[in-house]
Structure 1
Amino acid sequence: MRSATHIALCAAALLVMLLAGSQVTTAVTCTATELAPCASAIFSSSPPSQQCCSKIKEQRPCLCQYLKNPSLRGYVSSPNAKKVATTCGVPIPKC
């Protein structure tokens, strides 16, 4: 009986650690420089790379923040930026 309790406590501790770890990995740091892999696609007509699409998907929660920033708005809302986001399957947010 004692070993069953020990196993249950270990399993509960492992579950707590896994859940805590998943919360840390879902946090996004909003840094516009993370979108650097998309620069060539945004400033030319080249298609976005897989890395670019990954970064846009990762930074999706930050797009409204970028759109509200006067220094970044022009880059994020440009026709090419919208085309890149659409190609990557990321909808342009309405902020």
Structure 2
Amino acid sequence: MKASHIAVFAIVLVLVLFYEAEVSVAVTCSPTELSSCASAISSGTPPSSVCCAKLKEQKPCLCQYIKNPNLKQYVNSPNAKKVLSTCGVTIPKCN
């Protein structure tokens, strides 16, 4: 193989690997992922580090949860807002 062919092959390989890495990072929106936050939201106790990590992971899903009539009351509750703030997760502006 010529050097130019090897370089092109290497670039294509890097792009494919990068694309695959991006695809695998996609978040699966599941409110059950936030079960570690249930006690903090219901009682107002400080959130655990696991809760904060899950909130940060599920942040792209928050608008979906807010728009769900069954979940809206929990996401918009004062305790939920306090937990989000404590974890450094900003409440998104949902359309």
State TM-score, norm by structure 1: 0.85
| Higher percent of residues as helix | 1
| Equivalent residue letter for 1:90 | V
Give the gaps of 5 or more residues in structure 1.
none
Divergent runs of 4+, >3 A: none
1:20 is matched with which residue? 19
What is the DSSP-based 3-state SS (H/G/I as helix, E as strand, rest coil) of the residue aligned with 1:62? Answer: helix
Give the gaps of 5 or more residues in structure 2.
none
When the two structures are aligned, how many residues end up with a matched partner?
Answer: 94
In the TM superposition, residue 86 of structure 1 has moved relative to its aligned partner by 0.4
Matches within 5 A, 1:41-80: 41-80=40-79
What is the DSSP-based 3-state SS (H/G/I as helix, E as strand, rest coil) of the residue aligned with 1:30? Answer: coil
In the TM superposition, residue 39 of structure 1 has moved relative to its aligned partner by 0.9
Separation in 1, partners of 2:29, 2:38: 17
Worse overlay, 73-82 or 6-15: 6-15
RMSD: 1.7
Separation in 1, partners of 2:24, 2:40: 27
Whether 1:94 aligns to 2:93 is yes
Provide, for residues 46-89 of structure 1, a one-character-per-residue CA deviation record: whole Å limited to 9, x for no partner. 21111111111111111111111110001111111100000111
